[in-house]
């Protein structure tokens, strides 16, 4: 009996050695010897033989041994289940688990883990709950698999339940489980809870850092990812190719977005420079031959705009794949270099690597970026079966070129071919509806989004808010916004922009405050919108509050925020502060110059506006159409008629800018204020924009001031043709006749108003007493007016 046991022990040792070395042939020899010596009924040895064949990937041999076993225990079943899982036969493993007369936690863990690895996360989660119902206590292996499944499914609710059980069974300090929790929360988009878990880890390892960096990158926290990488190095934690690739990815995103956060600021560098430092580490640790690291290097340099170094990184890779070529093509595409893209594509095909869908999309993007939409369309037409990304790219290209009708035509064709739209498609088409003011089609897109359950998607909902706002349906935009389950800063910006567009300025300011109170960080676009609202409200105190906030978070140096602040101070009558801010702007563009010139024009400081305009020309800043509206307005309001005429004539002659209706309005206003009607008459005879009502309204107002019946009647007649129900021209013409004592003319105009059913609009005034806005109209209740009068007297006394 002792000899028998010694033999069994001897064979068990031999089998273990074969298992360790995955030595199938020597293992078969040992198996034959076991049979020869009469030990084949031994369950322990047979279990080891099954394990041997499973390790060597021979499921058939393992199954034959299992099927002929005279006696099986739980380890026998676990061995054959493991063999099925390792060979990829998950269905058999799942069925074997159900057939087991007795299971242990290893049985459950093996199948749950295999299901997760096989992409059947939902089934793994179901099996986990069956395991719990049958009274089995999960281990750290169970939790790692289940948390991974929750992460892939994006199922935060089940992930949190699993986390609760982890804490209950005391495994929340297990490194294996902690890493799985960090990964799950990151994949579910809950970066805050992922950070809490990570910060609470006693000894985070390279897996922890890699998972956390991936989550930060996914959520756009580029600088935090770079800081984490630096912390990892400082702690002496081993750096592998995956971590280096993540760091390069963060550097690429930082360089592409122009982001410089606290860590990069402390090093006085940006994403590009940090990426170069990581490149040094790549060389130091010998990762330059790793294809994933090499591709990350190419991507980092490409997104930084340094295509020379991207090309060098590409050339130094010992072996490239289709991803490498695609990144290089994308880099040249982002620069709009369609010729280089074609050259690289030819080199790729010569190398024997076939382009894939991504290659064609990158080439398509390159044509669009370079402005060659015709070449993009031709290339798109040559794609045999364009995928959804290709459709989205070409439709987006037409939207970028403001060719909205063509974009919609392509979208209809896409629907006809039964290509199903995704969130990107819907958002792009909504932008086309916004650009055209095509409300009816926008509503159809809203209905389509609802049918496929994408109406609540942030990307789509933000497009809906923008579409309804630009189509004049601000209430509908607010309705969509209020029902969004979650919002990012883009959604808030869309709603604020909508309020600002429709002069719902108080609402825009309150929305900005609400956004801040919810912990959302405003972007430069947020600030520009709310500052514009403050400008329209002439709310200097609120405007200064926003100004202080922009200074605090660094947005003050943004050129568009700065331009909005200039406009706000000017519209609040504080032109001196507007000029002071303008003078200290580190960078100025045409928008900044236009705002300051227009600010002086609005405040009657024509001389200063002219001085600034001439200074702008001396600095070789190229004026645009808006610049001339501002300077002509300044000349008009300050009585500098000849100067205004000089600038007007120089538009086309010196700057190649064809005067538009707004420019004619300004110069006619200037001439009208000066009573120079002969020059106006000559001007309007030759102007191309005779159907613009504002021009005739300005002329009619000037005729009223100077009692010019001849031109006043001409202007009124044009206005009657353009909008016969507008009461303003009738009233102005009637007043001209009245001022001259021509009562027959007054009677004729009034009869015309009665015949056409036109009623003069009631005038109204409003007073902002800081706590509320009080408005009253002509013929309002006397008590209301008396009350406002008492308040006004009280304020005057206080002054």
84: left (phi over 0), alpha (psi -120 to 50) or beta: alpha
Q: Which of 392, 403, 404, 315 is nearest to 360 (CA)?
A: 392
How far is Cα 68 from Cα 711, in angstroms, rounded to an integer?
112
Whether residue 34 is predicted with pLDDT greater than 50 in this model: the reply is: yes
Q: What is the mean pLDDT of residues 631-652?
A: 90
In tens, the pLDDT along 440-451 reads 988 998 998 888
Burial (CB count <10 Å: 0-12, 13-18, 19+), residue 539: buried
Q: What is the pTM of this model?
A: 0.62
Predicted pLDDT at 262? 42
Judge contact between 395 and 411, C-beta under 8 A. yes
Number of domains comprising the chain: 2
Block residue for tokens 């064609």: 360
In tens, the pLDDT along 95-122 reads 888 888 888 898 888 899 899 998 899 9
Q: What is the mean pLDDT of residues 257-263?
A: 44
Block residue for tokens 């880099």: 331
Whether residue 43 is predicted with pLDDT greater than 70 in this model: the reply is: no
| Confidence tier at 537 by pLDDT (50, 70, 90) | confident
- Taking CB atoms within 8 Å and a gap of at least 24, the contacts of 607-615 are 607/638, 608/575, 608/579, 609/634, 609/638, 610/634, 610/635, 610/640, 610/643, 613/647
**Sequence-separated (6 or more) residues with CB below 8 Å from residue 698:** 665, 668, 669, 672
Which segment of 58-72, 79-93, 214-228 scores lowest on mean pLDDT?
58-72
Whether residue 546 is predicted with pLDDT greater than 80 in this model: the reply is: yes
Position 400 in a domain: yes
Position 59 in a domain: no
> Which residues partner with 774 through β-bridges?
767
Whether residue 88 is predicted with pLDDT greater than 50 in this model: the reply is: yes
Show which of 455, 472, 489 is a domain's final residue: 472
Question: E strand or H helix at 63, and its extent?
Answer: helix 59-67
Position 56 in a domain: no
In tens, the pLDDT along 578-600 reads 888 888 888 888 889 999 999 99
Burial (CB count <10 Å: 0-12, 13-18, 19+), residue 384: exposed
In angstroms, the Cα distances linking 44 to 17, 187, 623 are: 16, 43, 90
Show which of 419, 452, 472 is a domain's final residue: 472
How far is Cα 648 from Cα 51, in angstroms, rounded to an integer?
92
Which segment of 124-128, 158-162, 398-402 scores lowest on mean pLDDT?
398-402
Show which of 416, 437, 472 is a domain's final residue: 472
Predicted pLDDT at 786? 54
Judge contact between 715 and 709, C-beta under 8 A. no
What does the chain come to in residues? 799
Position 459 in a domain: yes
Whether residue 653 is predicted with pLDDT greater than 90 in this model: the reply is: no
How far is Cα 193 from Cα 182, in angstroms, rounded to an integer?
8
Position 768 in a domain: yes
Whether residue 221 is predicted with pLDDT greater than 80 in this model: the reply is: no
> Which residues partner with 766 through β-bridges?
775
In tens, the pLDDT along 777-790 reads 555 554 444 554 55
Position 419 in a domain: yes
List, in sequence order, the alpha helices (H) in 638-781.
Answer: 641-655, 661-673, 677-686, 693-706, 709-722, 727-739, 743-755
Predicted pLDDT at 479? 93
Q: Domain range for residue 795?
A: 762-799
Listing DSSP states for 86-124 in one string gives HTT-HHHHHHHHHH-SS--HHHHHHHHHHHHHTT-HHHH
Position 783 in a domain: yes
In tens, the pLDDT along 731-771 reads 888 888 888 788 888 788 788 878 777 676 665 555 555 55
In tens, the pLDDT along 365-388 reads 888 887 888 888 988 888 888 889
Judge contact between 715 and 681, C-beta under 8 A. no
Predicted pLDDT at 261? 44
Mean pLDDT, the chain, as a whole number? Answer: 82
Whether residue 79 is predicted with pLDDT greater than 70 in this model: the reply is: yes
| Confidence tier at 265 by pLDDT (50, 70, 90) | very low
Position 454 in a domain: yes
> Which residues partner with 764 through β-bridges?
777
């Amino acid at each position: 009996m002792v000899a028998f046991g010694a033999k069994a022990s001897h064979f068990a040792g031999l089998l273990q050695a074969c298992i360790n070395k995955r030595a199938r042939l020597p293992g078969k020899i040992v198996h034959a010897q076991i049979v020869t010596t009469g030990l084949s009924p031994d369950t322990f040895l047979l279990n080891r033989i099954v394990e041997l064949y499973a390790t060597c990937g021979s499921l058939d041999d393992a199954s034959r041994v299992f099927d002929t076993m005279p006696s099986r225990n739980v380890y026998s079943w676990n061995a054959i289940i493991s063999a099925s899982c390792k060979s990829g036969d998950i269905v058999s493993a799942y069925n074997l688990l159900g057939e087991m007369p007795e299971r242990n936690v290893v049985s459950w863990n093996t199948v749950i883990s295999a299901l997760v690895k096989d992409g059947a996360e939902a089934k793994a989660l179901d099996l986990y709950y069956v395991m719990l119902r049958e009274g089995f206590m999960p281990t750290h292996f169970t939790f790692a698999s289940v948390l991974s499944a929750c992460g892939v499914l994006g199922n935060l609710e089940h992930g949190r339940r699993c986390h609760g059980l982890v804490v209950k069974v005391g495994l929340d300090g297990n490194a294996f489980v902690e890493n799985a929790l960090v990964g799950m929360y990151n994949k579910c988009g809950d970066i805050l809870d992922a950070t809490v878990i990570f910060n609470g880890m006693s000894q985070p390892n390279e897996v922890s850092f890699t998972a956390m960096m991936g989550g930060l990158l996914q959520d756009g926290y580029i600088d935090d990812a770079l800081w984490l990488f630096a912390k990892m190095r400082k702690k002496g934690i081993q750096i592998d190719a995956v971590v280096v690739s993540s760091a390069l990815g963060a550097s690429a995103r930082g360089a592409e977005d122009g982001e410089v956060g606290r860590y990069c600021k402390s090093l006085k560098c940006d994403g590009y420079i940090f990426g170069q430092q990581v490149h040094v580490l790549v060389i130091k640790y010998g990762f330059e031959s790793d294809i994933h690291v090499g591709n990350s290097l190419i991507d980092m340099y490409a997104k930084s705009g340094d295509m020379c170094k991207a090309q060098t990184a590409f050339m130094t890779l010992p072996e490239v794949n289709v991803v490498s070529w695609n990144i290089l093509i994308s880099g040249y595409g982002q620069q709009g270099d369609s010729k280089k893209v074609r050259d690289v594509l030819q080199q790729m095909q010569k190398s024997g690597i076939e382009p894939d869908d991504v290659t064609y999309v990158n080439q398509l993007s390159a044509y669009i970026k370079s402005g060659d939409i015709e070449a993009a369309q031709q290339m798109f037409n040559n794609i045999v079966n364009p995928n959804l990304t290709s459709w989205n790219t070409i439709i987006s290209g037409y939207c970028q070129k403001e060719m909205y009708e063509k974009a919609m035509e392509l979208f209809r064709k896409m629907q006809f071919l039964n290509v199903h739209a995704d969130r990107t498609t819907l958002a792009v088409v909504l932008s086309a509806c916004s650009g055209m003011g095509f409300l009816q089609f926008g509503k159809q897109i809203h209905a389509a989004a609802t049918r496929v359950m994408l109406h609540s998607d942030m990307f789509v909902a933000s497009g809906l808010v923008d579409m309804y706002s630009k189509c004049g349906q601000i209430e509908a935009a607010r309705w969509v916004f209020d029902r969004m389950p979650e919002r990012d800063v883009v959604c808030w910006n869309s709603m604020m922009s909508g309020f600002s567009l429709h002069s719902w300025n108080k609402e825009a300011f309150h929305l900005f405050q609400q956004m801040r109170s919810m912990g959302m960080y405003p972007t430069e676009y947020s600030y520009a919108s709310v500052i514009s609202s403050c400008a329209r409200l002439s709310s200097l105190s609120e405007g200064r509050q926003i100004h202080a906030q922009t200074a605090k978070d660094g947005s003050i140096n943004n050129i568009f925020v700065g331009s909005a602040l200039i406009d706000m101070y000017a519209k609040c009558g504080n032109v001196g502060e507007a000029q002071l801010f303008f003078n200290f702007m580190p960078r100025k563009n045409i928008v900044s110059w236009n705002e300051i010139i227009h600010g002086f024009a609005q405040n009657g400081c024509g001389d200063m506006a002219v001085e600034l305009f001439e200074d702008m020309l001396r600095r070789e800043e190229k004026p645009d159409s808006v610049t001339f509206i501002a300077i002509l307005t300044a000349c008009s309001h300050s009585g500098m008629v000849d100067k205004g005429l000089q600038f007007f004539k120089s538009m086309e002659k010196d700057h190649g800018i064809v005067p538009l209706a707004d420019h004619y309005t300004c110069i006619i206003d200037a001439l009208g204020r000066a009573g120079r009607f002969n020059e106006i008459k000559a001007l309007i005879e030759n102007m191309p924009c005779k159907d613009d009502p504002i021009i005739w309204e300005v002329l009619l107002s000037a005729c009223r001031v100077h009692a010019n019946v001849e031109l006043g009647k001409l202007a009124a007649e044009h206005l009657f043709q353009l909008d016969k129900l507008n009461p303003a021209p009738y009233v102005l013409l009637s007043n001209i006749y009245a001022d001259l004592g021509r009562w027959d003319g007054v009677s004729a105009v009034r009869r015309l108003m009665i015949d056409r059913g036109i009623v003069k609009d009631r005038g109204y005034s409003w007073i902002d007493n800081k706590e509320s806005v009080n408005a009253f109209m002509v013929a309002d209740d006397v008590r209301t007016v008396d009350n406002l009068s008492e308040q006004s007297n009280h304020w005057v006394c206080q002054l």
